[in-house]
Amino acid sequence: YSAKNSPNHIRFYNATIRQAAEQKLHTLNDLRHAQSLGQFSLVYQSVVDLESDEIMAVEALLRWTQSNGNVIEAKDFIPLLEEAGLMVNVGQWALKQACLQMKQWHTQFDKNLKISVNISSSQLEHPDFIKLISNILLSTQLPAEALVIEITEGALIRRPIHISNVLTQLKAMKVNIAIDDFGAGLSSLSRLNSLPIDALKIDAGFAQRLDTPQGKKLCKAVVQLAQTLDIKFIVEGIENQSQRDCLQAMGKGMGQGFYFGKPVKSQQFAMDVLSHIDKPALEAC
């Protein structure tokens, strides 16, 4: 007879499950009103050249500010948005917002950076996705070359012919395509080579394991894969100088992570990052 199977334990367990389920329903309900309450926002994180530390692009990341003021990170509510069937609408808002913001930064600052936007498979598979992209580019006046669409390996697996079609159309429009979290999922390498991909965003797990010889070899192999396929690479999740230095030695590429800068609100991003662009002389003083 173990305490685990005691009636009290079961009662407690059931109560815990019920609480978790109620909590989730509550959160889903809050999410349904979040958009009309203006609770979604974007934060921006730099993508930098590993060699020069120069900023090359900016990734837009979704945040949800709940009524109590708590700010929830994308990883903690994107799955719920999907489950509630809200991802397509919220994602559309995020895409437009990000393009508007970058267009504004293009006019405000001297450098024309790229804006990288995450697209989930439900968005990518939506029949109007191409129309949506062209409408947004038209209405925001952002050049297609300045937009990067980030999709995960998983989004390539379902409906491969349709997805291949969509990516080919995006490419024809001059939109850039990046594979996000690369190496964390199950990509077919031959498939990868047959799609019009501009960049591989190497999953943060690789940077995190650079302190072991095995991890270093693995990361090097993924970097070489990108180089072999003639695709740019961006290593995600760089948190310290030793990771940066190690990656820099692997070849010409880009990096992203807390070491270079955390994701911040647009105003702060403009002040901290963009206002320093083209002023290297000041920085040297």
Closest CA to 41 of 104, 105, 122, 98: 98
User: 142 near 167, Cβ under 8 Å?
Assistant: no
User: Least separation, in Å, of the C-beta of 237 and Mg ion?
Assistant: 8
If contact means CB under 5 to 8 A according to the sort of partner, which of Mg ion, ligand C2E, none does residue 13 touch?
none
Beta strands 264-265 and 114-118: pairing type? unpaired
Closer of 153 and 181 to Mg ion (Cβ):
181
Q: Where are the alpha helices (DSSP H) in the chain?
A: 7-34, 78-83, 87-108, 121-124, 129-140, 154-157, 160-172, 189-194, 204-208, 213-228, 241-248, 266-272, 280-284
Binding mask 103-142 for ligand C2E (x = CB under 6 A): ---------------xxx----------------------
Amino acid present at 248: Q
Residues 109-128 that bind Mg ion (CB under 5 A): 118
Residues with Cβ within 8 Å of 221's Cβ and at least 6 positions away in sequence, in order, are none
Q: Which stretch binds Mg ion (CB under 5 A): 2-10, 142-150, 160-168, 260-268?
A: 142-150
3-state secondary structure of 200: strand
- Contact of 114 with 149, CB cutoff 8 Å: no
Residue 15 CB, nearest distance to ligand C2E (Å)?
30
Determine which residue in the list 180, 233, 238, 244 makes contact with Mg ion, applying CB under 5 A: 180
**Min separation Cβ 142 and ligand C2E, Å:** 16
Residue number with the smallest Cβ distance to ligand C2E: 257
Residue 235 lies near ligand C2E (rule: CB under 6 A): no
* Binding residues among 190-209 for ligand C2E as defined by CB under 6 A: 204
Please give the Cα distance from 170 to 150 (Å, whole number). 12
Residues that bind ligand C2E (CB under 6 A): 45, 61-62, 73-75, 78, 91, 94, 118-120, 150, 180-181, 204, 236-239, 257-258, 263
